[in-house]
Structures are given as C-alpha cells and as structure tokens.
C-alpha cells in the first residue's frame, strides 16, 4: 500500500485546545512535516488507523481519552509510529509514571516548548 506522506514525515497533533493543535501543526508544517491537527483523541486514533502516521504528538490531559491511553493504543496497533507526549499540567507526571509502571515508556515534554526544541525532540525519536 502506498504511503501518501512519502515526501514528508506525517504527524498527527492532538490537543483538545484547538488553537494549540493548529499552532503546533503550523510550526511542524514550516519544518517540513505533513502535520494534521486534531482536537479529539478518538478521531485522531481513527485517522491513524486509516493512514498510519510516522509520529503522533499528543497532549496528556484531554476529555474522553488521555494522551497516555492514546499512546498505548497506538503502540499496540501501530508499533512503527513514534509518540511524543506533552503537557502543561503537574498531574500528567502521575499518568506517565503509571504508564511506566505498566511497562510503557513515553517521551514527555513540558508545555510551553520552544518550536525549535519541539522539532529537535521529534527528530530525535
């Protein structure tokens, strides 16, 4: 099956705050990623299942499904997809710790993050 994102790495940006999702997608598009913003983690998961992305970056604290839950499902279903989690809330560290205790290890960055640092972190995955 052909990958429609062959020329640029594809990345899904998931944040329940629409402005943040859009802003991060624009920053990534300016850095040669095919970035698509999502405000609903369930819709992002469906999109990833339909066309597996190279990367997913997700906020941790969202209604309906946390970024950690999304990341675990992505790792199980799409093991080649690299996941980066970000949060501006202190409670997110607890969710990451619980995931680590369950055998999952995810990269976490704190919001706000400088655009250059975000791109550097993604490329390092």
Q: Residue 4: inside a domain, yes or no?
A: no
Q: Residue 104: inside a domain, yes or no?
A: yes
Each residue's pLDDT tens digit, 89-123: 777 778 788 888 888 888 888 888 889 999 999 99
Classify residue 61 as exposed, middle or buried by CB count within 10 Å of its CB (0-12, 13-18, 19+). Answer: middle
Residue pair 79/104 in contact (Cβ under 8 Å)? The answer is no
Distance CA 31, CA 48 (A): 21
Q: What is the SS3 assignment for 17?
A: coil
Q: Residue 3: inside a domain, yes or no?
A: no
Domain containing 117 — which CATH number? 3.40.50.2300
Distance CA 24, CA 21 (A): 5
pLDDT of residue 26: 96
Distance CA 108, CA 46 (A): 23
Q: Residue 1: inside a domain, yes or no?
A: no
Q: Residue 5: inside a domain, yes or no?
A: no
Domain span at residue 60 reads 10-124
Q: Could you give the C-alpha distances from 117 to 47, 74, 81, 84, 112, in angstroms and in order?
A: 26, 24, 20, 13, 10
Average pLDDT over all residues of the chain: 90
Q: Could you give the C-alpha distances from 62 to 12, 45, 82, 88, 120, in angstroms and in order?
A: 15, 14, 20, 12, 25
Q: Looking at the 3D structure of the chain, how many domains does it have?
A: 1
Q: Residue 112: inside a domain, yes or no?
A: yes
Each residue's pLDDT tens digit, 50-60: 999 999 999 99
């Amino acid at each position: 099956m052909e990958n429609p994102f062959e020329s640029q790495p594809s990345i899904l940006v998931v944040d329940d705050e629409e402005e943040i999702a859009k802003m991060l997608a624009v920053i990534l598009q300016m850095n040669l990623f095919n970035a698509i913003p999502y405000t609903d983690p369930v819709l992002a998961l469906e999109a990833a299942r339909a066309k597996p992305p190279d990367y997913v970056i997700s906020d941790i604290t969202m209604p309906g499904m946390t970024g950690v839950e999304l990341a675990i499902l992505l790792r199980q279903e799409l093991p080649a997809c690299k996941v980066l989690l970000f949060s501006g809330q202190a409670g997110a560290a607890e969710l990451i710790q619980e995931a680590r205790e369950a055998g999952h290890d995810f990269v976490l960055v704190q919001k706000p993050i400088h655009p250059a640092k975000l791109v550097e972190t993604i490329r390092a995955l």
